Structure 1
């Protein structure tokens, strides 16, 4: 599985696949050094990879399998705005956690894309 994203529209699917593999380091590699991860509607969150790492570890420890589907991807030069619907489901397909995200990603010098802002603020438990 590639952990590099060369098309911003592939960011969310790649994130979910890496999360399901349990590789926190590979998830963290999807973020710029000073990225922001927002985790609720109030804008609470984490700034910088060191702070984001703990939240990603928590996400990987959650039971279930994650899926994430883009609803749109708007590119403008080296920036892209994404929105995705995601769910973490149990073995029977019941949603344990679901919601949607809004993200800003930036093209890097090597042509890959990384998160600048990742906001999963409208999530909910249960179905």
Structure 2
């Protein structure tokens, strides 16, 4: 499912994690997107590398909740910040809370794709 607004990207990221659907997550990215990979913070470039780096996290079937905090948009680019909460499967409480930052770009068909993704942005 494509994102029709920059904010919708965050809801679709959460849905992909919660469904264990790595392909849906990767479909939210431009081909040469760059992502910061938790917990080490290393960079992965391109859908293939991002997928390989995140496969172990998706395999754990973590639960994710994301709430968009702010958006800055101009000329087909958007910068969004969100509060991100992550819990292990069956966990009663959130194991990690952080701030996610996404730069997305409007595509020619009006949908939005991630260009840069940092789920480990400083507060």
Residue of structure 2 in register with 1:24 after alignment: 22
CA-CA distance at 1:122 after TM superposition: 4.2
Segments of 4+ moved more than 4 angstroms: 40-43
2:117 aligns to what? 118
Whether the aligned pair in 1 keeps the contact of 2:20 and 2:61 (CA below 8 Å) is no
The number of residue pairs the alignment matches comes to: 121
Q: Name the residue aligned to 1:52.
A: 50
TM-score by length of 2: 0.87
Provide the C-alpha distance between the structure 2 equivalents of 1:46 and 1:81, rounded to a whole number of angstroms: 19
Q: Distance in 1 between matches of 2:63 and 2:38?
A: 21
> Hey, what's the Cα distance between the residues in 1 that align with 2:46 and 2:35?
8
TM-score in terms of structure 1 length: 0.84
The answer to whether the Cα contact below 8 Å between 1:102 and 1:120 also exists between their aligned partners in 2 is: yes
Give a deviation string over 1:3-39, Cα, whole Å, max 9, x none: 2100111111111011111111111000001100013
CA contact (8 A) 1:86 1:98 kept: yes
Aligned-pair Cα RMSD in Å: 2.1
Structure 2 alignment gaps of length 5 or more: none
